[in-house]
Structure 1
Amino acid sequence: MRVPDGFLQFVYLRNLNNAKNSIAHIQEQITTQNKINRPSDSPLGNARIMRLKQQIQSNESFANNISNSISMLDNSTLSMEGMQTEVQNVLLALTKMNNATVNDDLSPFVADIDAALNSIMDLANSKYNNQYSFSGTNSTTKPFSFNADKTAVVINGDLGGDQKIRLSNNILQKINITGKELFLPVMAQSGNLDSGTAVGGVQSSTSKVYDADGNEYDMTVNYTKTAANTYDLSYEIKDSDSNIVSSQTVNDLVFDTTSGKLKSMDGSNPKDIKIEVQDKKINLVLDVNSMTEKSSASKFVNSLSQKADIFNTLLSIKEKLLNGEKPNAVQSQIVEDFNQHVLNKLSEAGSISNRLSSSADLLQNQKFELLSLLSSENDVDMAKALVDLQSAQYSLDTSYKISSIILPRSLLDYM
């Protein structure tokens, strides 16, 4: 079968154009150093590249969060280490003043207690990145301050609230030590209420609390059922003579009908109940967020984190020293307990920091792997590309040489 010259010319021109396009494509890859420069180059490869870039971006975001969190936690750790040093100075002063050889003049110890108190206050109000370290989620508010005559410490706002970051898409990590858990006595109440209790029935729990002078009080918490899954909470704090020094009622504690967990308090999300009796130097937090409701006998587990807050305890000790009176055994125990409490929180901060560091290392390894996959998917092998370019250029030059055979001649070829 005879092949027309016109068809040969058409095929030749098409192949010539393909050769030019191939050279242009290779040159573009060499210039950009990318195999895929537009979605049409490889729709499947482009989708993989976009997915890998998104994973790398998320990885870098998690890594940045961790880096900032480690710095913030290091600042909190330094503050707590400073507090521990000051508390140990107080313990040393307490040991000296309780020595039998010390005379009735206790005024030299006042300066030691006052200096430690001011230092602990400054450290408790420390900042990182213009945010207060121990204010919980309310990080723009100064957590502690003295009242006008410097006879008591004022707590400004809610010092609770865990700050959390994402270590991955599915993992959240707490990154702060709150002022609530470090400085405040927290009466954490857990257990369960009996859902079978009739409306109007009362379920109660009593535990011991203390003031900054070391005096003991009875605190009774009552849950009065007002409707299905709903209770009113009331508490009373009584002194040794059964006098009520503080009381309060919180309405409408609603428990979830399925899980039994506390769902709301007074129409809002569950929150801590702050108890402050300035004239009695009582300052504590009642935390009932772990209470549940079950179809079983009521059970209460009460746990007091500290007997009294360190600030008002040191103020009380200072006042006693000015009056020529030594601190009592309970106050000395409060200071010792706070020293141990700070050690525990330093250990907790160290554990958080270690986990953050481990996560940072893991993210770094993941990033290297993702970059390797992205490179194999999109990066150009320059040596291979240059060889391909030379081969394509040779083919194009050869095509030009045989064009005189295939393409029709004109008068210009003979001039």
Structure 2
Amino acid sequence: MIRISSQQIFANGISRLQDLNSNLASTQEQISTGKRVNKPSDDPVAAARILKLDQELTRISTYERNVDLADNRLSQEENALASSIDVLQRIRELTVQAGNAALSVNDRISISSEIEERLGQLANIGNTRDASGEYIFSGFQGSVQAFQQNDEGQYVYMGDEGQRVLEIDDGVTVPISDNGKGIFVNIPAAATGEYTNNVSGGFISGVSVVNEADLNAAYSGSFPDDITITVDGAGNIQAQDTQGNALAVSPAVYESGEPFVVAGVEATISDITPGAGDSFTLKINERQSVFGTIENLISGLSSLDKGTPEGLAAYNDLIAQSLVNLDNAQESILLKQTEVGGRMNAVDSTRDFLADSSLYTSEIRSQLQDVDYAEAISNLSFQSFVLEAAQLSFAQVSQLSLFDRL
């Protein structure tokens, strides 16, 4: 015979009520939070998976912020580059206009004044800042103004050659900046000619590359270098590179004011005495800042005298070389703009990938964590009914005693 004491009855009853009340409270918590797993003990396996999924969503969220930052920086750079191309196009139009032989001195000064305004506008674009106040074209020196005027009033680059990159996914980085030196400064310059030794008081003009293939062939694939020109006593034009190698000239006989071609480069020499010792240098691989090109153009429009043959030749060279340099600058900026556009496409693709990953991960987490409200409410009703029944039963049992039988 098993004897059950009143204390056991009360203890078992209270324990059962506590279990039922705990289950009811757990269901109520699920309904109020919308989560099936609110603590690890609710479902240890699911809780561990949910923790990993939360970490994955945090990682994705961090990269999505980086994607937004990269997109903003690249969009700002693209807009700045597009604006600079517009400015250079206007300067080019003014340069073509300045080449009109019918213009007066005042007309040239007026054109020069507008070009000077456009130069300041281009400098402002080169000194564009991002939302945090950093100069986007200064490389790693974001706090340093990219283009500043020196004591002579010329714009010089003050940043470095760094390029910032940002990680937008695991193992995926994208450059989010470009230094101004590579865009606005290291630009191929038009071929020019200058006196190395001036004996006769003549001048060289009309220097331009007319055949790229011949130029490259003359140097057998090596980097083209400067060309030295002299005229011997017999009136033959002699040309050689900096290594002393002779280059063919056509026509080979000097005639004042008539063009000749050497290694695909055309030039004209005027007013010299053959054999007097005059020498010239054809510079065919120089680099020039777009700001320097515009500054030289402004200066030349205001100062060059077209009243003499030499002044007229210098003025015509200024216009021709400026147009070539402006075209090269536009091409340099356009190439960078295309490159930036490619980066933006990569950023957009990564954004789409991260959004898909986030959606997929969220769906899996939802399946593990989110509560089924219909099932939870049904359980809550059933648990409430069982708890009430248990409470009534316990109340009746707790009233029984031996005195009730006497």
TM range (shorter): 0.5 to 0.7
1:323 deviation in Å?
1.2
1:238 deviation in Å?
8.0
Matched, 1:357 2:343: no
What's 1:131 paired with?
Answer: 134
AA partner of residue 120 (structure 1)? L
Bigger-Rg structure (1/2): 2
What's 1:94 paired with?
Answer: 95
TM-score w.r.t. length of structure 2: 0.67
Checking the alignment, whether the CA contact within 8 Å between 2:165 and 2:176 is kept in structure 1 is yes
TM-score w.r.t. length of structure 1: 0.66
Checking the alignment, whether the CA contact within 8 Å between 2:36 and 2:370 is kept in structure 1 is yes
Checking the alignment, whether the CA contact within 8 Å between 2:35 and 2:370 is kept in structure 1 is yes
Distance, in Å, in 2 between the alignment partners of 1:95 and 1:312 is: 18
Summarize the alignment of residues 54-69 of structure 1 with structure 2, pairs less than 5 Å apart.
54-69=55-70
SS in 1 for 2:166: strand
The 1:358–1:396 alpha-carbon spacing in structure 2 relative to 1, beyond 3 Å, is: same
SS in 1 for 2:156: strand
The 1:380–1:89 alpha-carbon spacing in structure 2 relative to 1, beyond 3 Å, is: same
Structure 2 gap ranges (5+): 196-224, 230-284, 305-314
1:87 deviation in Å?
0.6
SS in 2 for 1:128: coil
Which residue of 148, 155, 174 corresponds with 1:145? Answer: 148
Q: Output one character per residue of 1:202-261: Cα deviation in whole Å (capped at 9) or x when no partner.
A: xxxxxxx85x994589xxxxxxxxxxxxxxxxxxx98959xxxxxxxxxxxxxxxxxxxx
1:97 deviation in Å?
2.1
Checking the alignment, whether the CA contact within 8 Å between 2:91 and 2:118 is kept in structure 1 is yes
What's 1:315 paired with?
Answer: 295
SS in 2 for 1:21: helix
1:112 deviation in Å?
2.6
Checking the alignment, whether the CA contact within 8 Å between 1:19 and 1:396 is kept in structure 2 is yes
What's 2:310 paired with?
Answer: none
What's 1:28 paired with?
Answer: 29
SS in 2 for 1:117: helix
RMSD: 3.2
Checking the alignment, whether the CA contact within 8 Å between 1:213 and 1:316 is kept in structure 2 is no
1:43 deviation in Å?
2.6
- List structure 1 runs of 4+ shifted beyond 6 angstroms: 411-414
Moved more, 27-36 or 115-124: 27-36
Distance, in Å, in 2 between the alignment partners of 1:18 and 1:374 is: 29
1:14 deviation in Å?
4.3
SS in 2 for 1:132: coil
Q: Output one character per residue of 1:152-193: Cα deviation in whole Å (capped at 9) or x when no partner.
A: 2222131x222211111221111223212211217xxxxxxx
Which residue of 330, 352, 358 corresponds with 2:321? Answer: 330
1:370 deviation in Å?
1.9
1:37 deviation in Å?
2.3
1:349 deviation in Å?
1.7
Distance, in Å, in 2 between the alignment partners of 1:214 and 1:357 is: 44
Q: How many residues align?
A: 308
What's 2:80 paired with?
Answer: 79
Q: Output one character per residue of 1:306-348: Cα deviation in whole Å (capped at 9) or x when no partner.
A: 8311011111111111112341533321111111222222222
AA partner of residue 136 (structure 1)? G
Distance, in Å, in 2 between the alignment partners of 1:404 and 1:64 is: 60
Distance, in Å, in 2 between the alignment partners of 1:180 and 1:337 is: 15
Q: Output one character per residue of 1:108-161: Cα deviation in whole Å (capped at 9) or x when no partner.
A: 3211321221111111001111111111221111011111231x2222131x22
Checking the alignment, whether the CA contact within 8 Å between 1:216 and 1:239 is kept in structure 2 is no
1:82 deviation in Å?
1.4
Distance, in Å, in 2 between the alignment partners of 1:403 and 1:136 is: 79
Q: Output one character per residue of 1:88-110: Cα deviation in whole Å (capped at 9) or x when no partner.
A: 11111222222344456632321
The 1:216–1:175 alpha-carbon spacing in structure 2 relative to 1, beyond 3 Å, is: farther
Q: More helix by proportion, 1 or 2?
A: 2
SS in 1 for 2:287: coil
Structure 1 gap ranges (5+): 187-208, 218-236, 242-303
What's 1:110 paired with?
Answer: 112
SS in 1 for 2:159: coil
Checking the alignment, whether the CA contact within 8 Å between 1:132 and 1:139 is kept in structure 2 is yes
AA partner of residue 314 (structure 1)? I
Distance, in Å, in 1 between the alignment partners of 2:94 and 2:162 is: 35
Matched, 1:392 2:383: yes
Q: Output one character per residue of 1:267-310: Cα deviation in whole Å (capped at 9) or x when no partner.
A: xxxxxxxxxxxxxxxxxxxxxxxxxxxxxxxxxxxxx8x83110
Checking the alignment, whether the CA contact within 8 Å between 2:98 and 2:319 is kept in structure 1 is no
1:20 deviation in Å?
2.2
Q: More strand by proportion, 1 or 2?
A: 1
AA partner of residue 155 (structure 1)? Y
SS in 2 for 1:136: coil
SS in 1 for 2:169: coil
Checking the alignment, whether the CA contact within 8 Å between 1:214 and 1:328 is kept in structure 2 is no
